[in-house]
Amino acid sequence: MNRTKAFSAASASARLAPFSLDRRAPKPADVQIEILFCGVCHSDIHQARDEWHNTIFPCVPGHEIVGRVSAVGNGVTKFKVGDLVGVGCLVDSCRTCPNCQRGEEQLCDNGFTLTYNSEDKHLGGVTYGGYSERVIVDESFVLRIPGNLDPAAVAPLLCAGITTYSPLRQWDVQAGQKVGIVGLGGLGHMGLKFAHALGTRAVLFTTSPGKADDARRLGADEVVVSKNAAEMKAHAGSFDFILDCVSADHDINAYLELLKPDGVLVLVGAPEKPLPVSAFSLLMRRRRLAGSLIGGIAETQEMLDFCGEHGIASDIELIPIQQINEAYDRVLKSDVKYRFVIDMASLK
């Protein structure tokens, strides 16, 4: 056993606090990773506060992990001690269903293992995430990190990056298309960077007028303050694709109305409450509404390599783990530029 320091939530209403847990000793296919940085995803907050009604406590969040390999099992072929590596939302899946076989582990028919809050198939109990000193992960779920990027700013790519890259690729978004990104938070700012890198005409929708200049710097060709009905109406029926990255209750009909015929709105935001959809928002102009969950391991590696080639990483605010509760409070106020990342050296 491998005693590991961490921060956990003891209950849905508890502030995160120091905790310690046992990691398994590395098995033949395992990579042991000393965590350097871990991003703070809004999903961590939903989960720590049991907003999706499935959290097992104590909960150690964190699924945007960058670290250095400190040991490998004797069957590991892809990584060696000293490598800089990443771990995202998944640490295992059934590996045999058709979806796993074609490298879409996030669609596993038999249940994937999430980095935290899943059944721990090795030790029993629950998996614990990246707000911790180290993690042990099967090499099939470990990612290579491009050497030219700041490792702290890479951490958010492991969830916010793949979650926004995947739908843009899966729906084959092309240069020149008009693409909307809704919400300039962790996911939204990565979506904007990717939409810009793909050569689309990128429009950022925000409830925070003060983010407009940043949005342009991050790649927006235009910024729309979504509370302004006239600004919204000016874009009616004009979008090929909209990526909705909003974490809370909001009116998705207002965005469906902006799609042109056969246009697609993909939800990646995961608010606690259901979002009502007007049939007419979809019937008119044969519009489509879809969802997307992170991405598979192969696509995550493709996204990381794309980021290396294009010099793309996250805009981050680096914090010691002792400030995690204040960071959660600020994320809930849409006050983060644009992802908190924990410097795990603060846990030592």
| Maximum distance among all Cα pairs of the chain, rounded to whole angstroms | 63
Q: Select from 327, 318, 308, 233 the least CA-distant residue to 37.
A: 318
**Contacts to ligand NAP by CB under 6 A:** 41-43, 46, 159-160, 163, 183-188, 206-208, 211, 245-250, 268-271, 292-294, 331, 334, 336
- 187 makes contact with Zn ion (CB under 5 A): no
- 247 makes contact with Zn ion (CB under 5 A): no
Asked if residue 165 lies in contact with residue 295, where contact means CB atoms within 8 angstroms, the answer is yes
For residues 91-129, one letter each, b for 16 or more C-beta atoms within 10 angstroms of the residue's C-beta and e for the rest, the string is: bbbeeebebbeeebbbbbeeebbbbbbbebebeeebbbb
Residue 143: both structure tokens together: 């990612």
Residue 208 binding: pick among Zn ion, ligand NAP, none (C-beta 5-8 Å cut-off by kind): ligand NAP
Q: Nearer Cβ to Zn ion, position 63 or 134?
A: 63
* Shortest spacing between CB 158 and ligand NAP, in angstroms: 10
Site string for Zn ion, 132-161 (x = CB under 5 A): ---------------------------x--
Q: Contacting Zn ion (CB under 5 A), which of 85, 108, 158, 192?
A: 108
Residue 156 binding: pick among Zn ion, ligand NAP, none (C-beta 5-8 Å cut-off by kind): none
Q: Contacting Zn ion (CB under 5 A), which of 6, 16, 41, 126?
A: 41
DSSP result, 177-200: -EEEEE--SHHHHHHHHHHHHTT-
Residues facing residue 8 across a β-bridge: 17
Which 8-state DSSP code applies to residue 24?
A: P
Q: Nearer Cβ to Zn ion, position 94 or 232?
A: 94
* Shortest spacing between CB 293 and Zn ion, in angstroms: 10
* Shortest spacing between CB 52 and Zn ion, in angstroms: 12
Cα–Cα distance, 63 to 46 (Å, whole number)? 13
Which residues lie near Zn ion (CB under 5 A)?
41, 43, 93-94, 97, 100, 108, 110, 159
